[in-house]
A and B are shown apart, each in its own frame.
Chain A
Amino acid sequence: MELTGAEITVRCLAEEGVEFVFGYPGGAVLNIYDEIFKQDKFKHVLVRHEQAAVHGADGYARSSGKVGVALVTSGPGLTNAVTGIATAYMDSIPLVIISGQVPVPAIGMDAFQEVDTVGITRPCVKHNFLVKDIKDLATTIKKAFYIAATGRPGPVLVDIPKDITQQSHEFAYPETVTMRSYSPVVKGHSGQIKKAVQMLLEAKRPMIYAGGGVVLGNAAAQLTELTKLLGYPVTNTLMGLGAYPATDAQFLGMLGMHGTYEANMAMQHSDVLLAVGARFDDRVIGSPEHFARDARRIVHIDIDPSSISKRVKVDVPIVGDVGGVLDEMIKLIKAGKEKAEAKAITAWWTQIELWRAKNCLKYNHASPIIKPQFVVEKLWEVTGGDAFVTTDVGQHQMWAAQYYKFDQPRRWITSGGLGTMGFGLPAAMGVQLAHPGSDVACVTGESSIQMCIQELSTCKQYHLPLKIVNLNNRYMGMVRQWQEFFYGNRYAESYMDSLPDFVKLAEAYGHVGMKIEKPADVEPALREAFAMKERLVFMDFITDQTENVFPMVPGGKGISEMILAEEL
């Protein structure tokens, strides 16, 4: 049957089992929107800004494990979406972004709402396509979903000129797709896996360091089983939180720039390190030279060969799907006679407990002003540790990471690589749509929330009962913290003056607003808010202005060179 390009586009999305398309209409995509109007296979979510469309699709993808889909028009529609695309790219999130383009004959003519979409997005997508012939449309969309979801996932963009959406062509959605230029390695090399197990069992001071790859690869169960089997300490990166249950005793907390003392010390002093789906980035290991000062052997499992030996040389690289590789390691350990070096491991744990006894996340509980850490701790209690938590970027993000103990993967939704302020609210919309009936909290700050606050309107339209936890310190807190530490207390433009009345603002959008100013009111407010199952509640917590995030590894330093709270 002959279908128009617009019909084909919509049919392809339905064939892929897409549930939600986050988008915003405009001239170049009007034909596609007309077909969306006529169908009922998927729901369209109308955002208020294209950045939020991509973050919404991203939150959906992170929390569900499925491919998220966004649809934007040409020109400014696309350029607004770029921040969202780059956010997803840095965190390897599978998305398909469909953008309208001016008609093929108008390309290159500086037409109205024309931009070089393929050129602009090229450095921040896994791949992109410009469809110049309608006969390629269905195959291209199929390829886009395939590329986005396989190997190291990532966003893929399909740019569709308006005239292509008008032309007609025979429609047949390909069942499968093979590409000679793209075949990600899935199965880890058995010889390497054997070597890795041997090395792990010889360890005297072992450490397991797991990142976002474990979450994306759905390998949290395997990571937990292996860690339990070995009895070794484990840490998660910011992206990996939830990959290993945070309430378990073998978990040392997050590592990195704002990681725990025990995680960073154990990382630095380990003699064998198992890195799983992590990439040794600058916020995690600090200076590679400092990290290399203590000798250690490293096993690194990753689906992306280019992540291996990029910043840190490794001894046993294993390219493959982390879940499969961990399964094979578990099998080998169970089948083998060799056991971990019990005596050495006990001594290592004794050392770790000494580090842990520093209690590096302690803060002043007696403060008459609300401490932001306290709000996150209470949030964890009130939600039974079972909420989906999205964040924006800055101090509140680090406190959420440190104090909300995630026991399950895909509950922690944060912009790690790009560090995008404005991510939290739209991402939470995607999470709530993927998990209706679940508690979804957006932990944010008064600066970040204003970057995409227009989405309160979208939340009203789709009845998304998010709980917004605004840690309001009247500062761009992380900027202020750096200015305090490294810029002689010169707080250049980091104070947020003329803030809106968030309670009234929430009400203006048709939601519930609360202002909380005393520590004693924190828990009751949270309980009240989470009891309102059908309403979005904006909780404006007036917090301590001068609170800092500790521990902290200053930029360029080694991870064991932390500033702790009591040292100041």
Chain B
Amino acid sequence: MRHIISLLMENEAGALSRVAGLFSARGYNIESLTVAPTEDATLSRMTIVTRGSEDVIEQIIKQLNKLIDVVKILDLSDGSHIERELMLVKVRAFGKDREEMKRMAEIFRGRIIDVTEKTYTIELTGPGSKLDAFIEALDQSAILETVRTGASGIGRGDRILKV
């Protein structure tokens, strides 16, 4: 099962390596991991997407809780939540492709944020599946470069992760 776990941790040097080290040392899978400071500069918020049986996920959460720098954890998959990921795609855009690329970006509600004679860079936000669909829909040979942030997530309504 895929789980998306959010956690707040002390914004200390090396905090990220404690989490990453825990996953590699115990053989847990990381699909994506994002981290950035929050409105409270002493806290970082991390979003981890992982896969495992219920037992494994239970252990992952317990082991994360055991890390001294971790302040709070929420398994977003336990309730309704929103996930977003940002992707930047640089595509070949000349000749008849140029108009096609613009149309594709519009269909997926992407924005073209950089333009050269031969390329577009498209910014796209959404759940991972939407970004996958966009990549699928493009002519593969037209893709020059992609970069994705990994998922960020937040609970719906009054599900709040805060200290």
Contacts and interface: CB of A to CB of B under 8 A. Distances in A.
Interface string B1-30: 000000001100110011001000100000
Nearest to A313: B55
B68 A130 contact: no
Contacts of B13: 130, 132
Interface in B118-142: none
Interface stretch (A63-71, A118-126, A390-398, A536-544): A118-126
A306 interface: yes
Nearest to A132: B13
A182 B68 contact: yes
B163 A147 contact: no
Given A180-B71, A181-B70, A123 B25 contact: yes
A304 interface: yes
SS class of chain B's interface: helix, strand, loop or mixed?
helix
A117 to B, nearest CB: 11
Nearest to B18: A122
Contacts of A119: 14, 17
Interface centre among B10, B63, B68, B163, by most A CB within 10 Å? B68
B19 to A, nearest CB: 11
Contacts of B17: 119, 122
B68 A147 contact: yes
Given A130-B13, A130-B14, A180 B68 contact: no
A341 to B, nearest CB: 32
Interface string A429-462: 0000000000000000000000000000000000
A306 B66 contact: yes
B100 interface: no
A249 interface: no
Contacts of B69: 181
Interface in A106-137: 118-119, 122-123, 126-127, 130, 132
Given A122-B18, A179-B68, A181-B9, A309 B25 contact: no
A5 to B, nearest CB: 19
A310 interface: yes
Given A118-B14, A119-B17, A181-B9, A126 B65 contact: no
B62 interface: yes
B59 interface: yes
A122 B58 CA distance: 22
Contact of A123 (B9, B10, B21): B21
A385 interface: no
Interface string A284-313: 000000000000000000001110011001
Contacts of A180: 71, 163
Contacts of B59: 306, 310
A147 B67 CA distance: 11
Contacts of A304: 66
B68 A306 contact: no
Given A306-B63, A309-B58, A310-B59, A181 B68 contact: yes
A180 B68 CA distance: 10
Interface string B55-97: 1001100110110111100000000000000000000000000
A9 to B, nearest CB: 21
A119 B17 CA distance: 8
A122 B21 contact: yes
B14 A126 contact: no
Contacts of A122: 14, 17-18, 21
B68 A126 contact: yes
Contact of B10 (A147, A181, A310): A181
Nearest to B42: A180
Interface in A226-263: none
Contacts of B18: 122
6 contacts: A123-B25, A181-B68, A181-B70, A306-B59, A309-B58, A310-B59
Given A132-B13, A306-B65, 8 more contacts: A122-B18, A123-B25, A126-B68, A304-B66, A306-B62, A309-B58, A310-B59, A313-B55
The 3 A-B residue pairs with the shortest CB-CB distance in the complex, in nearest-first order: A306-B62, A127-B68, A181-B71
Interface of B: 9-10, 13-14, 17-18, 21, 25, 55, 58-59, 62-63, 65-66, 68-71, 163
